[in-house]
A and B are shown apart, each in its own frame.
Chain A
Amino acid sequence: AQSVSQHNHHVILSEAASLELGCNYSYGGTVNLFWYVQYPGQHLQLLLKYFSGDPLVKGIKGFEAEFIKSKFSFNLRKPSVQWSDTAEYFCAPNTNAGKSTFGDGTTLTVKP
């Protein structure tokens, strides 16, 4: 069965601090990897995705993620967070059939 683990439940940072959110997954077959963001009261938005190729992927709003196959990880990073990055972040691997499994999510609070 496919599963995903997000290590950080709630992260609190000051503006300009660097961010790294952990994500580990387990799945026996080919998996595609996604990070989504959900701002308070809003719907899901895609931050970035990895299918194949360069394991370092860049997304919107300065976010990036690195796929490390040997560690089954796909950690999300941002060098300098802003107050507007306060949101819920979900790691969601999916199979080639398009079925997503969501992690529990990480609540990021950025203090101005």
Chain B
Amino acid sequence: GAVVSQHPSWVICKSGTSVKIECRSLDFQATTMFWYRQFPKQSLMLMATSNEGSKATYEQGVEKDKFLINHASLTLSTLTVTSAHPEDSSFYICSARDRGQNTEAFFGQGTRLTVV
């Protein structure tokens, strides 16, 4: 149980276009999902907290108009990188917290975004 799936696993896009990344909890309901970014050879940095049915909470320094987060259902959150630029190239990882228990969030496999 407790499987979180991200799609796509990797994506290459042209500079200026937008890319949507999906995060799904497959066998549990997630009221809260988290989005992280990992640059090469660096640690994971929390970008935002996504709450079902409400606006996401962004960490300091993260542009909410550039990284659009939608959490429309208890099993799906999406991150859209708008007007992507090469510096947005990174590994994006989501995690989801089971509404039935509060102590752990489960991580997806990540999405590698390359902007050319």
Contacts and interface: CB of A to CB of B under 8 A. Distances in A.
Interface in B43-61: 43-46, 49
Interface in B71-99: 93, 95, 97
A103 B46 CA distance: 12
Contact of B44 (A32, A97, A98, A102): A102
Contacts of B93: 43-44
A44 B107 contact: yes
Contact of B110 (A43, A96, A97): A43
Contact of B34 (A34, A44, A99, A104): A99
Query: Chain B's interface: helix, strand, loop or mixed, by majority?
Result: strand
Which among B45, B46, B93, B103 has the greatest number of chain A C-beta atoms within 10 A? Answer: B103
B105 A98 contact: yes
A64 B77 CA distance: 33
A95 to B, nearest CB: 9
Interface in B1-50: 32, 34, 36, 42-46, 49
A51 B32 CA distance: 19
A105 B39 CA distance: 13
A82 interface: no
B107 A32 contact: no
A100 B45 CA distance: 9
Interface of B: 32, 34, 36, 42-46, 49, 93, 95, 97, 102-105, 107-110
